[in-house]
Amino acid sequence: MFTIYINDLPSACENIYLFADDAKMFKIIKCPDDLKSMQLNVINMQNWLNVWRMIPNVDKCCVLKFGNKYNNIYEMWDSAQVKQVIQVVKVIKDLGVFVDDKLTFRDHIYSKVKLANTMLGIINRHFRLIDEEAYLCFYKGLVIPHLEYAVQVWCP
């Protein structure tokens, strides 16, 4: 139902992607006018939210900037109609993949290796007396999926 409710959001904003209950706006900034255009896009989304009586959680909004040519502050209004600055972050988790502003995916790789090692520890602690075939089944089912998740994105 929520997807149907927000289905017209892309007609109110430019360069926006929707996935489940998530929205991502993007803009290639080549000149200062593009910065203004992006802020206008944020305002358009804010107006759309107001029309549909939805309140944004500004604390969950963030900006991930690639490159260092232009800096800008983007603002939204919170539930009390107070103007809030959208925080700029260096790393964001999107659909289970950590993306950083340099596109190195170090945080993602670190978190997945840590999770895989945790799963290996669980297998080794709780299933000490199993044969090689059963161990391989646990390994393929509990460890490998963490290491292979979204590999096409972070290591094409």
Domain limits, the chain? 2-89, 106-154
Q: What is the pLDDT along the chain (156 residues), one digit of tens a residue?
A: 777 888 888 999 999 998 888 889 999 988 889 999 999 999 999 999 888 888 888 888 999 998 877 778 888 887 777 788 899 999 999 888 999 999 999 999 999 999 999 999 999 999 888 899 999 999 999 999 999 988 888 776
Mean pLDDT of the chain: 88
Q: What is the DSSP track for the chain?
A: -HHHHTTTHHHHSSSEEEETTEEEE-----SHHHHHHHHHHHHHHHHHHHHTT----GGG-EEE--SSS-----EEE-TTS-EEEPEEESEEEETTEEEETTS--HHHHHHHHHHHHHHHHHHHHH-TT--HHHHHHHHHHHTHHHHHTTHHHH--
User: What HEC string does 138-150 produce?
Assistant: HHHHHCHHHHHCC
**What are the structure tokens assigned to 75, written together?**
């603002």
